[in-house]
Each structure stands twice: as C-alpha cells, then as structure tokens.
Amino acid sequence: MIELLFLLLPIAAAYGWYMGRRSAKKDQDDISNKLSRDYVTGVNFLLSNQTDKAVDLFLDMLQKQEIENEIESHSQFEAELTLGNLFRSRGEVDRALRIHQALDLSPNYTFEQKLLAKQQLARDFMVVGFFDRAENLYILLVDEPEFAENALQQLLVIYQKTKEWKKSSQYC
C-alpha cells in the first residue's frame, strides 16, 4: 500500500505543477484583456476629443504596467509614445520631451523603436522652436530608409524657417 502512495506522489506533483501554470496563464490573460480594454477606451476618448480623460487613462495604464511589471515592452513603448504625443498636442511639450527622451535613452527598446522616439522628439523640438536640435535628429533619421522621406521634408521646413539655403540645397 505504501508503494502505491509513492507511485501517486509524482502524479500529484505533476498535477499541481499543471494547475499552477494554468492559473498563472489565466492571470496573465486577464491582465492583457484589461489593458486592451483600457487602450480601446483611451482611443475612444481621443476620437471624441476628450483628451484630458484619455491622458488620465493612459497615465493610469502606465502606472499599472510599471507596478505589475508584467507587460511586454512593445505595448509599454506604444503607450508611452502615445502619451507623449498627447502631451504635445495639448501644448505640454515639456512633458512630451521628457517622455520621448526617456524612450530614446532606454536600453529596453529596439533600434527601430528608438528611431521612432527620435522622430517624435524632433517633432517636440520643432514645436518649441529648437530647430537646431530638431535638425540634428532629422539628419540622423535621413540615413534610415523608413524615416528618410519625412526627415527630408522636415529638414526643408527647418531650413526655410531659418533661411539656411545652402543647407537646404545640400539635403533637399
């Protein structure tokens, strides 16, 4: 009889392991579904011109993500990028600059994500009127195929505003 109990012990351990993994996966799915619902709600707020509510919702989402540390970096990047863009559109360029600079300097993101952060950072600098800083970022982006066309267009705008015609002919 004791031998039979020893034979059942590995089965009980395997069953406990299986149930634990299943429970953890369900918790992760619940968190992902909640974040997806919040993201859609935030987009709806944006579409209905309720940017204050959208910003508050995105801030709450980011704080939850930082606390739980269970969100993938791609989703976090998109949320932070969107939040920075919202701040810029509301005229809070200083907050947008901080967010986009943090994204650019973070070691957690891919090269392509950092390029996108640089592009948004350059837009922030354009809004503030720091054309020299925006120019430096757009010059970096000219070498990247996905960003080259937009970077060249923005460089042309910068050179027209600053009346730097020689530089304009060099890049554009």
Report pLDDT digits (tens) over 45-89.
Answer: 766 777 777 777 777 776 666 555 544 566 778 878 888 888 898
Q: How confident is the model over 119-127, as a mean pLDDT? A: 95
Question: What pLDDT does 137 receive?
Answer: 95
Nearest to 126 by CA among 170, 79, 160: 160
Higher pLDDT, 123 or 78: 123
Q: How confident is the model over 85-107, as a mean pLDDT? A: 89
Residue 33: is its pLDDT beyond 70? no
Percent of the chain residues past pLDDT 70, beyond the cut: 64
Residue 103: is its pLDDT beyond 50? yes
Rounded Cα–Cα distance for residues 170 and 138 (Å): 14
Which range among 18-27, 74-83, 99-108, 138-147 shows the weakest confidence by mean pLDDT?
A: 18-27
Higher pLDDT, 117 or 36: 117
Q: How far is CA 91 from CA 30, 94, 97, 106, in A?
A: 35, 9, 11, 24
